[in-house]
A and B are shown apart, each in its own frame.
Chain A
Amino acid sequence: MGEAESIGLLETKYSRRNFIKGVIAVGATASSAGYFIGGSGLLGAQSVPGAAERLITLNVNGQQRRVDVLPNETLAMTLRYRLNLTGTKLGCDRAECGACTVLIDGVNRYGCSTLTHQVRGSSVTTIEGLENPDTGELSLVQQAVIDEGGFQCAFCAPGFIMSMTAMVNENPNPTRAEAAHALSGNLCRCGDYHKILNCAMRAAELARSV
């Protein structure tokens, strides 16, 4: 990931390349970091108090990442298209489905509806940051999902797991109704709520036994 950490997109110039180097697996290369929705954003007038600078440092999954971020860029886009953290999904991009849920200072929020510039100085945790970085061991929420065989298509899974993580951190002793309430910001179109609640209750159980 080393090369991916400094990305300059201050100018996006038209350059036609007629050959393809190949498909890039997520996280495997740096050059993919240049894809993005925006390119012509205004540079903030730096003399004005409070104007946001574009080159910022983000704390994502415990790592400091230097990244060039447009003022109008959402966190989900930065994660997916600049930092290659594609585990954070975009299901609706409108704060309605929860597939983009990430933890910002431990609080679950919609990545699609947070400007990246708003999380400077915060610590951001995505689905990729849940495993133990040293051992690769799954987090207890992830383990709970394995135990219960959770999720079907699983496009919603990263978001649900982030919400479950926030839930068990806050209340490791929820009732099923409380768990449902805590997860009510995430949508599962496979309708797998029953099993998801089982996962959440199992996660809480694991959390209590730690």
Chain B
Amino acid sequence: MGRWLDFESNPWGQEVLQGVSLDLMYLAIGLAVLFTLGHWFWYRRRGFSKQEEVAEAQGSVAGIPERIVRHTLASRIFHWSMAASMLVLLVTAFVPLLGLEFAWVTIHWIAGAVLILTIVYHVIHSIGWQDFWSMMSMGAKDVREGISHFRHVLSPKAPTPEKPGKYPFDHRMYHNGIVVVSLAAIVTGVLMTLRIETPFWEPNTYYPFVDQAVSGYSELGEPVISLTPGATTGLMFVIHGIAGVSLILMVTAHIYFAIRPDKRWFTWSMIRGWIDREHYLAHFDPDKWSVSDGSVQEQAPGGAIADSVVSAPRVDD
């Protein structure tokens, strides 16, 4: 533990948890690089790109528009502003530790505030205008779907999994992961913001855990003393630190997949907002993600169904 956690003697000479050590950041960076490279090699050797081509459009194209809106403008604004603030947060958090020094704290908390706003917006938006639970759900059915999906990934012989709904299992898993980690980072981050100078409140460097060395007596007349002053503060830093390094890993993986050619159509959908019918039919179960009832917001130019030839995504790697 000593290697990953940082302990210091508090003013009373007690060893107190301070936070995570720098080594953990290097570990995360190392793992992120390893994962990216590993996945890339593994993917190439497995020749998944060929298998992907097997996926064919199934079912009727009737009523399915040429372009299927996957992410509304509102969702995209959310995603990219969140991404920007997250990147700023990561850069301001870790780059100074890597040696390039600049005044990072103010940028960091402002980016954090932006992130919180985007998430609040996202939550409201997704509850009010989106199918909130479809992004989050993790029922038995979803787990089965996930397991079959993973089997398929791990072994080409495994049966082709069922197609998912709008949010495939891995996306949901990632989303849930990022929800947990980000919330941990945000909650601890907000608490930490109470300790620094911001326009919002008077800072208190002992917040949120005012580890009052001695707070006097309880109503029973027993002395009330915190066990190890500063420990709870240290825990907050540990959570923030672990969340931070986890985000290094998760964001790296996310970006990696986003720029992978075979997934790039997803990325484009986050930019343009729509996917084309071929991808829709190839990757999603129309029963689970129904798009025929008015989710078509714009007609593709020409609009002839016959024009839409199922085609495999272009692989250019």
Direct contact of A and B (CB under 8 A): no
CB within 8 Å of A: which residues of B? Answer: none
- Which A residues are closer than 8 A to B by beta carbons? none
